[in-house]
Amino acid sequence: MGSFRKLKSYFKFYNRLSKTTKAIKLVTLSKLQMLQTTLHTRRYSLVYATDLFKVKTSMPMNEFQLLIPITSEISCPGPIDQILANYTSKVINYLRANEINYGFFFLGRRGLYLFKDYQIKKSYKGFIYNVNKQPISLLVVSELLQQILSIPADRYQIIFNRYYNVFTQIPHSYNIVAYKHLFDTLNGSCELDFTSYATRNFIRKRITLHKLYEYNFALVLYNALRDHFVSELGGRVAGMDASIKNLDEILSQVRIEYQKARQNAITNELIEIISCLNVLISNTGLKSSTRFNLFK
């Protein structure tokens, strides 16, 4: 490799980078440990929220689906965004094969970059970033939901990474039927009975179902955002772990080269010192037997 000083600077740089990477991993693990406990309530909050959207409804011939991929907001999230993009591409191929129109509404900073090859200009409908700038709550999710519902669609599909462990984050999706189709399907079978007047009964049914629809939609979106945010941390831990292993290998190689270059530099300096000393001795008129030899 290069000179002794260059190797020394390389060694210091990789050593600092290794320490920084380990610190990032420890901080991420601490955040992940605090957030993992919240995921245990996911199955309880989604048991009834997702049941509302499992009702079979008749969709129009020119159905339009709004795809909502949730992408990363933090740096170094690992491969989870690329895995999500591959999963979304399969969804797009399915929609194209069945001649279903679709559009994109991105949640997350990396959405536009990941899906730039999917004709975003024609199907782009919206983009929100800095989603995790504030703590994720139902209030924040309700604001996001209003912007999503402002785009008319027959079906909304939320695509995100579901967290299982630090090294396993699997893409998942929620299919949510639009409110107008859900109400038309449930209107005849709804058992709500507020008053004997048919008109008021119909209006109250509609208002109650609409509130129930938005609340369950918000719960599903909230859980998807929480899942994806924890997946980001898990992906970062996995990425930092791989980076630490690579840095350790690089450091071991640089350390060997650095020690060789250091020893060579010390040997060369000693040779120069002994040579200069021999020249000085020869100039003083001493016998050659008194000269120094480094290799004796």
Structural domain range at position 59: 44-225
Look at residue 105 and tell me if it is in a domain. yes
Q: Please give the DSSP secondary-structure letter assigned to residue 60.
A: P
Total of domains in the chain: 1
Structure tokens at 80: 């989870």
Within the chain, strands assigned E span 64-69, 101-107, 124-128, 155-165, 168-177
pLDDT over 80 at 45, yes or no? no
Mean model confidence pLDDT for the chain: 77
Look at residue 281 and tell me if it is in a domain. no
How far is 230 from 168, CA to CA, in rounded Å? Answer: 11
pLDDT over 80 at 132, yes or no? no
Look at residue 279 and tell me if it is in a domain. no
Q: How confident is the model at residue 41 (pLDDT cuts 50, 70, 90)?
A: low
Q: Indicate which CATH number applies to the domain containing 80.
A: 3.40.1380.10
Q: Please give the DSSP secondary-structure letter assigned to residue 155.
A: E
How far is 101 from 103, CA to CA, in rounded Å? Answer: 7
pLDDT over 70 at 164, yes or no? yes
pLDDT over 80 at 282, yes or no? no
Look at residue 179 and tell me if it is in a domain. yes
pLDDT over 60 at 18, yes or no? yes
Q: What pLDDT score was predicted for residue 187?
A: 63
CA quadruple 124, 92, 45, 228: dihedral positive or negative?
A: negative
Give the largest CA-CA distance in the chain: 129
Look at residue 169 and tell me if it is in a domain. yes
Task: Read off the pLDDT of residues 53-96 as tens digits, 9 standing for 90 and up.
Answer: 776 777 777 888 999 998 887 766 667 888 888 888 888 888 88
| Most confident listed range (118-132, 189-203, 239-253) | 239-253
- Whole-model pTM: value is 0.73
Look at residue 26 and tell me if it is in a domain. no
- Section 38-42 average pLDDT: 65
Task: Read off the pLDDT of residues 5-17 as tens digits, 9 standing for 90 and up.
Answer: 777 788 788 888 8
Look at residue 188 and tell me if it is in a domain. yes
How far is 229 from 137, CA to CA, in rounded Å? Answer: 13
Per the document, the length of the chain is 296
How far is 149 from 182, CA to CA, in rounded Å? Answer: 14
Higher pLDDT, 140 or 193: 140
Look at residue 243 and tell me if it is in a domain. no
What does each C-alpha distance from 262 to 54, 93, 177, 249 come to in angstroms?
Answer: 70, 58, 69, 20
- Section 275-288 average pLDDT: 69
Q: What pLDDT score was predicted for residue 1?
A: 44
Amino acid, single-letter form, for residue 187:
N
Q: What pLDDT score was predicted for residue 195?
A: 47
Structure tokens at 31: 């955040």
E strand or H helix at 86: helix 80-97
* β-sheet with 155-165: strand ranges across: 124-128, 101-107, 64-69, 155-165, 168-177
